[in-house]
Amino acid sequence: MAEAVIEVVLGNLNSLVQKELGLFLGFDQDLERLASVFTTIKATLADAEEQQFSNRSIKDWLQKLKEAAYILDDILDECAYEALRLEYQGVKLCPSNKVKCSGFSTFHPKRTVFRYKIAKKMKRICERLEEIADERTRFHLAEMVPERRSGVIEWRQTSSFISEPHVYGREEDRDKLIDFLVHDASHDENLSVYPIIGLGGLGKTTLSQLILNHERVRKHFEPRVWICVSEDFGLRRMTKAIIEAVSGHACEDLDLDPLQRKLQDLLQNKRYLLVLDDVWDDDPESWERLKSVLACGALGASVLVTTRLTKVAAIMGTVPPLELSNLSDNDCWRLFKHRAFVADEVEQEELVVIGKEIVKKCGGVPLAAKVLGGLLRFKREVREWLKVKESNIWGLTHNIMPALRLSYLNLPIHLKQCFAYCAIFPKDERIEKQYLVELWMTNGFISSDGKLDAEDVGDGIWNELYWRSFFQDIEKDEFGEVESFKMHDLVCDLAQFVAEEVCCITKDDDIHALFERKRIHHFSDYGWELHPAQLHQVKSLRTYLGKNVQLSPDVVKRYSLRLLQFKPRKEFLSAIGDLKHLSCRTVWYA
């Protein structure tokens, strides 16, 4: 998310430079210094974003960077506001400090005071950002945007061997896919491609392993090939990997053309089944080039694809994808129990009761049930189980994190910020799509790109996040347009992890979060009116959503507010006019 914040601030910086406002206000050299600092920092952000999941110091550094960037954004916004005010008064800004206006001078006392104050603020934030930039050297971050990896990271490697002998709740999905492969696809002259899509940790790989090794599939297909794709969908790499999997031998390092001919020789007139596991590449050209080589098999040759991206499924699939659903509580409990208790063990009734509550935290994700069950396998004290029940699932284990963080790290920069902002909603909230797009717009996360207006850009971003399995459980109107949706609890936790400056209070017990996390910029209150003493700790509030609560008097004193939603109280309406960063469309009444 830091990358997206820096992108926005850099854009605002460049805008001021182009308008020569820095020259007019007397800090043009500071603007140039800041642009240089941000450019230097930006080169290390991709590496820092990835390392923050395992290194708390880097996460704290990113938070400090975002905090400073927000302060600078406030200063730049104040400069833009002043420029508009002067323009309204008829003052023409020019770098020579000469003005053409009706009786106004840039050396008016009020303007001189403003220039002095803003230059002082700019100097301080320049120094602060240079300190933060120097700190990054402690972490030895790579000063380049990493290219797409070649091959597959070891922990992401998968194979055709069944890794989970006990699988629960996927029998119907398994049978449906096998019936298609053995019956429906066997009569198709063209290559059949069946995609399986779903959130990380739902069991796409496990289901594919079950299918590939099922007796009916073993009898029907020869050869059966498993390729762990990951992010590297390079044609040469894929061709070589399939050759090695089919032949069982290492393939010599040939040019692409002889590799493709060799692959076709191996698959020619054979009814093969190819599993492409964990596909991320959504470039249609990449798939079409590989597909043209694969289209040499016999009648019924098929490909099974697993992916988190609906877009990949749409590009590769010849039939509608199988969208893996969350496991039922009962199936999740069976999986958890298998991991948590030893075979033939007499289960303690009290532990069973607590265990079923723990399973609810898993939200139907098999990976979460498996990991938490394994965590408790050799623990039989009630207090140990209660501790797990009452803890945040992400704080208990890092084994779930890799499965979901990949989805975040693979997002383009502008999507990261839009996704992270969703932490402003409580778990299990039904979110109106249009409302979320408007929140993105008013915070400056999205704007018109010259071809599409901001709303259409926001609609495209929402669709992209939905295609990547971040959103689920959609509801449509009578015309088939999406009205609302939900986020899985683990996805909500992911958003909260990467956006600690976004805070949602749903009950009185949550208020301690304000004291622990002082860098809060976006805040939603779902049922608790903040006392001014508590809100005073929030120094740079940009969003305040007061859902079903009266507006706290201290909210209107928040200098940086861009978006305000509250129940109207007459005594506060006049004070709202003092909020410089607030535009007329960002004051909403709950």
Q: Is the pLDDT of residue 265 over 90?
A: yes
Q: What residues contact 217, with CB distance under 8 A and at least 6 apart?
A: 178, 181, 182, 211, 224, 273
Q: Is the pLDDT of residue 235 over 50?
A: yes
390 versus 268: which is more confidently predicted?
268
Q: What is the pLDDT of residue 178?
A: 96
Residue 31 — pLDDT band, cuts 50, 70, 90?
Answer: confident
Q: What residues contact 55, with CB distance under 8 A and at least 6 apart?
A: 139
Q: How far apart are CA 485 and CA 149, in angstroms?
A: 33
- pLDDT averaged over the chain? 80
Is position 144 within any domain?
no
Average pLDDT on 23-51 reads 76
Q: What residues contact 183, with CB distance under 8 A and at least 6 apart?
A: none
Q: Which of 7-11, 267-271, 428-432 has the lowest mean pLDDT?
A: 7-11
Helices (H), 506-585: 512-516, 532-535, 570-576
| Phi, psi (rounded to 5 degrees) for 303 | -130, 135
- The answer to whether residues 115 and 177 belong to one domain is no
Residue 581 — pLDDT band, cuts 50, 70, 90?
Answer: low
Q: Is the pLDDT of residue 171 over 70?
A: yes
422 versus 3: which is more confidently predicted?
422
CA 469 from chain centre, in angstroms, equals 10
Q: What is the pLDDT of residue 174?
A: 95
466 versus 538: which is more confidently predicted?
466
pTM for this entry: 0.68
The three state secondary structure string of 470-486 is CCEEEEECCCCCEEEEE
Average pLDDT on 281-308 reads 94
Q: Assess whether the previous peptide bond of 165 is cis (omega < 30° from 0).
A: no
Q: What residues contact 361, with CB distance under 8 A and at least 6 apart?
A: 368, 372, 389, 393, 489
Biggest CA-to-CA distance, the chain: 93
What is the SS3 assignment for 588? Answer: strand
Q: What is the pLDDT of residue 264?
A: 95
- The answer to whether residues 527 and 465 belong to one domain is yes
Is position 281 within any domain?
yes
- The answer to whether residues 469 and 515 belong to one domain is yes
- The answer to whether residues 187 and 170 belong to one domain is yes
Average pLDDT on 443-463 reads 86
Partners of 546 in the beta sheet?
525
- The answer to whether residues 64 and 188 belong to one domain is no
Sequence length of the chain is 590
- The answer to whether residues 72 and 97 belong to one domain is yes
Residue 539 — pLDDT band, cuts 50, 70, 90?
Answer: low
Q: Which of 130-139, 411-420, 473-482, 532-541 has the lowest mean pLDDT?
A: 532-541
Q: What is the pLDDT of residue 294?
A: 96
Is position 16 within any domain?
yes
Give the containing element (helix H, strand E) for 454: helix 454-467
Residue 53 — pLDDT band, cuts 50, 70, 90?
Answer: confident
Residue 98 — pLDDT band, cuts 50, 70, 90?
Answer: very low
Average pLDDT on 399-411 reads 70
Q: Which of 4-8, 25-29, 541-545 has the lowest mean pLDDT?
A: 25-29
Q: What is the pLDDT of residue 571?
A: 60
DSSP state letter for 547: E
Provide the domain count of the chain: 4
**Pair of tokens at residue 383:** 């207090």
Q: Which amino acid is at 455?
A: E
**Complete edge-to-edge strand list for the sheet that includes strand 192-197:** 224-230, 273-279, 302-307, 192-197, 322-323
**Pair of tokens at residue 126:** 């320049």
Q: How far apart are CA 325 and CA 100, in angstroms?
A: 66
Give the containing element (helix H, strand E) for 196: strand 192-197
Q: What is the pLDDT of residue 269?
A: 94
Side-chain half-sphere of 31: how many Cα atoms within 13 Å? 25
CB 49 within 8 A of CB 62: yes
| Phi, psi (rounded to 5 degrees) for 564 | -140, 125
219 C-beta neighbours (distance < 10 Å), count: 9
35 versus 172: which is more confidently predicted?
172
**Pair of tokens at residue 33:** 């210094």
559 versus 39: which is more confidently predicted?
39
Separation of first and last alpha carbons in the chain: 28
Q: What is the pLDDT of residue 223?
A: 96
Is position 504 within any domain?
yes
- The answer to whether residues 267 and 216 belong to one domain is yes
Average pLDDT on 457-464 reads 92
Token pair 């928040």: residue: 558
271 C-beta neighbours (distance < 10 Å), count: 17
Q: Which of 108, 139, 170 is the last residue of a domain?
A: 139
Token pair 């502008």: residue: 414
Q: Is the pLDDT of residue 79 over 90?
A: no
Residue 435 — pLDDT band, cuts 50, 70, 90?
Answer: very high
Q: What is the pLDDT of residue 103?
A: 42
Q: Assess whether the previous peptide bond of 223 is cis (omega < 30° from 0).
A: yes
- The answer to whether residues 421 and 390 belong to one domain is no
28 versus 355: which is more confidently predicted?
355
Q: Which of 355, 373, 402 is the last residue of a domain?
A: 402
**Pair of tokens at residue 557:** 């004193």
* CATH code of 255's domain: 3.40.50.300
Q: What is the pLDDT of residue 393?
A: 60
Is position 146 within any domain?
no
Q: Which of 9-13, 97-101, 122-126, 331-335 has the lowest mean pLDDT?
A: 97-101
DSSP state letter for 517: -
Q: How far apart are CA 31 and CA 9, in angstroms?
A: 11
CB 224 within 8 A of CB 218: yes
Is position 381 within any domain?
yes
- The answer to whether residues 229 and 248 belong to one domain is yes
Q: How far apart are CA 104 and CA 91, in angstroms?
A: 7
Distances (CA, A) of 480 to 278, 452, 470: 30, 22, 20
Is position 234 within any domain?
yes
Range of the domain at 517: 411-589
Q: How far apart are CA 420 and CA 497, in angstroms?
A: 9
Q: Is 428 left (phi over 0), alpha (psi -120 to 50) or beta?
A: left
Q: Is the pLDDT of residue 101 over 50?
A: no
**% of the chain beyond a pLDDT of 90:** 32
Token pair 């007397």: residue: 26
Q: Which of 81-90, 181-190, 241-250, 322-331 has the lowest mean pLDDT?
A: 81-90
Helices (H), 226-328: 235-247, 256-267, 284-294, 310-316
The pLDDT tens digits for 493-525 are 888 888 877 766 665 545 555 555 557 788 787
431-432 and 482-486: which strand pairing?
antiparallel
Average pLDDT on 341-364 reads 89
Q: Which of 285-289, 308-312, 430-434, 522-526 has the lowest mean pLDDT?
A: 522-526
Q: Which of 288, 323, 358 is the last residue of a domain?
A: 323
Q: What is the pLDDT of residue 458?
A: 93
Average pLDDT on 119-123 reads 83
**Pair of tokens at residue 149:** 């990896």
Residue 117 — pLDDT band, cuts 50, 70, 90?
Answer: confident
- The answer to whether residues 240 and 345 belong to one domain is no
Q: What is the pLDDT of residue 520?
A: 78
The pLDDT tens digits for 308-351 are 999 999 999 999 999 999 999 999 999 999 989 988 888 899 99
Is position 148 within any domain?
no
- The answer to whether residues 423 and 529 belong to one domain is yes
- The answer to whether residues 159 and 128 belong to one domain is no
Q: What is the pLDDT of residue 312?
A: 94
